[in-house]
Amino acid sequence: MSETVVLQRDGHVATVTLNRPEVLNAIDNTLAADLTAVCEELASDTATWAVIMRGAGERAFCAGADLKARRDFTPQQWSEQRQLLRRTFAAMRAVPQPMIAAVHGYALGGGTELAMLCDMIIASQDAVFGLTEVSLGIIPGGGGTQSLPRLIGRQRAKELIFAARRIPAEEALRLGLVNQVVAREELLPTVHRLVDEILKNSPFAVRQAKWAIDQGADLPFPDGLDREHEAYMRAIASEDRREGINAFNEKRRPQFQGR
Q: Which residues are catalytic?
A: 113, 133
Indicate if the alpha-carbon torsion angle 157, 163, 164, 165 is positive or negative.
Answer: negative
Query: Beta strand 128-130 with 120-124: parallel, antiparallel or unpaired?
Result: unpaired
| Distance in Å from the first CA to the final CA of the chain | 30
CB-count exposure of residue 125 (10 Å: 0-12, 13-18, 19+): middle
Q: Round to whole Å and give the CA distance between 220 and 178.
A: 26
Which residue from 98, 181, 81 is spatially nearest to 141, judged by alpha carbons? 81
Amino acid at 6: V
Q: Round to whole Å and give the CA distance between 243 and 248.
A: 8
